[in-house]
Amino acid sequence: MHRLCSVVVLFLLMPVCHARGTGDLGIVIERASGSVQVIETSTNTSLGSIDGLGDLSHASAVYSRDGRYAYVFGRDGGLTRLDILSMKIDKRVIQSGNSIGGAISQDGRLVAVSNYEPGGVKIFDASTLKLVADIPAVYGNDKQQSKVIGLVDAPGQKFIFSLWDAGEIWVADMSKADNPEITKYKDIGQNPYDALITPDGRYYIAGLFGEDGMALLDLWNLETGVKRILDGYGKGEQKLPVYKMPHLEGWAIAGNYAFVPAVGHHEVLVIDTLSWTEAGRIKVHGQPVFVMSRPDGRNIWVNFAVPDNDTLQIIDTQSLKIVKTLKPGKGVLHMEFEPRGEEVWASVRDEDRLAVFDTETFEQVTTIDAEKPSGIFMTYRAHRTGL
């Protein structure tokens, strides 16, 4: 009895451990300091920072299935696995000379990284970061290496990516991780610069920088090959200088429309996703960079390249008209919606802060200090194809 009482007393004196989930968390890339800030959307607060991630000048991130680990892809070739609950680096490898992004497989067991130098895709075990497969992006008779961009995950344990120099799209089936099956689609257009996969995982769309148009691959019918869409959308118009490459990997799909930035034009292009033909154009404030849909598809938020990067514009998806123009501050680089879309976070790099907006009223809710923030990545991405 005495021993039992002692155990009970000891238990009562133990510190209480408060477990928490990760569903309302996210990270913000602090590009100048090689750090990330962990944020919480329930209270719109910062929980702290994690340092030591190297060159984050063009960094992106994906999440493990449980939302606990973030995989950060750095410009210096670094692949870093972060434990966002304990706020520390769990594992880190330097896997290339220059990487541009990555993806996590459908089953969460593989992490793929797309590389500029030496080119190609490397695939790692998500738990250990040990190399599983190396896919060089070799093309042409002289076996040149291409930069790889537009890497996304797809259903069926696949990774899809584009080759900037070669003008090709490759599909890597990783069902047998030790023996990837690669399908190559050539002559898809000049300089694919970025890509997206539709939320249902069916269509992969690569934007083309070297010519007006886009390349579409139907993943349900791979045998039909790549289809060109929006060919010559800028015909007869003089292209404007592009000071920052447009981005496609944010999903701007709303209803039966896709909204994409026009390269070298101050326009957002509207695509009918039933026919994959142009359904309209929306004149905007500058060269669009990110064109992103609120989760319910009710409106589209657009930011811009310099010299117009102090501005956000919101497009109504029913009328296809601009309904609001905001001026959050200098250097608006990225946006991220909260899981159900009631608020959106924007990085205001040149003013060292984050701005949070109510997506119904468009009013600014709060600001949070951050050191040269750029990409914002919420944990709900863990359960979305292509994010």
Q: Which residue has the higher pLDDT, 188 or 239?
A: 188
Q: What is the pLDDT of residue 345?
A: 98
With a CB cutoff of 8 Å and minimum separation 6, the contacts of 154 are 106, 160, 171, 197, 201, 204, 219, 385, 386
- Give the whole-angstrom CA distance, residue 72 versus residue 82: 8
16 pLDDT exceeds 70?
Answer: no
* Chain segment 368-379, per-residue pLDDT in tens: 999 999 999 999
pLDDT of residue 9: 45
Asked if 183 and 170 count as a contact pair (C-beta separation under 8 A), the reply is yes
What integer pLDDT is reported at residue 1 of this predicted model?
A: 52
Is residue 26's pLDDT more than 80? yes
The pTM of this model reads 0.92
Q: Is 100 exposed, middle or buried (CB count within 10 Å of its CB: 0-12, 13-18, 19+)?
A: buried
Name which residue leads in pLDDT, 52 or 235.
52
- Does pLDDT of 11 surpass 50? no
Regarding predicted confidence, which is higher, 187 or 247? 187
- Predicted confidence at residue 142, as pLDDT, reads 75
Return the pLDDT at 178. Answer: 87
In the predicted structure, residue 62 carries a pLDDT above the cut 60: yes
Of 68 and 7, the one with more pLDDT: 68
pLDDT at 15: 47
Ramachandran area for residue 76 (φ above 0: left; ψ -120 to 50: alpha; else beta): alpha
Residue 75 has pLDDT above 60, yes or no: yes
Task: Give residue 237's pLDDT.
Answer: 66
Amino acid at 225: G
Q: What is the mean pLDDT of the chain?
A: 92
pLDDT-derived band at 14, boundaries 50, 70, 90:
very low
* pLDDT score recorded for residue 10: 45
- Single-letter amino acid code for the residue at 155: P
Inform me whether the pLDDT recorded for 162 exceeds 70.
Answer: yes
Report pLDDT for 245. 72
Whether 12 has a pLDDT exceeding 50, the answer reads no
What are the residue ranges spanned by the domains of the chain? 95-244
Per residue in 114-158, pLDDT tens? 999 999 999 999 999 999 999 999 998 878 999 999 999 999 999
- How confident is the model over 171-182, as a mean pLDDT? 95
pLDDT value of residue 120: 96
Buried b / exposed e along 43-59 (16+ C-beta atoms within 10 A): ebeeeebbeebbebebb
Q: Is the pLDDT of residue 340 over 80?
A: yes
Convert the pLDDT of each residue in 199-248 to its tens digit.
999 999 999 998 989 999 999 999 999 999 999 887 656 676 665 678 88
Q: Which residues contact 375 (CB under 8 A, 6 or more apart)?
A: 28, 29, 59, 60, 61, 333, 334, 347
- Asked if pLDDT for residue 99 goes beyond 70, the answer is yes
Share of the chain above pLDDT 70, in %: 93
Mean pLDDT value across residues 67-88: 97
pLDDT, tens digit, for every residue of 280-322? 999 999 999 999 999 999 999 999 999 999 999 999 999 999 9
Element (H, E) at 181: strand 181-185
pLDDT value for 238: 64
Task: Please provide the CATH number assigned to the domain covering 95-244.
Answer: 2.130.10.10
What is the Cβ-side half-sphere exposure of residue 377, based on CA atoms within 13 angstroms?
28
Alpha-carbon distance of 249 to 26, in angstroms, equals 17
Enumerate residues 6+ apart whose C-beta is below 8 A from 58: 75, 100
pLDDT-derived band at 18, boundaries 50, 70, 90: low
Which residues on neighbouring strands pair with residue 282, listed in sequence order? Answer: 268
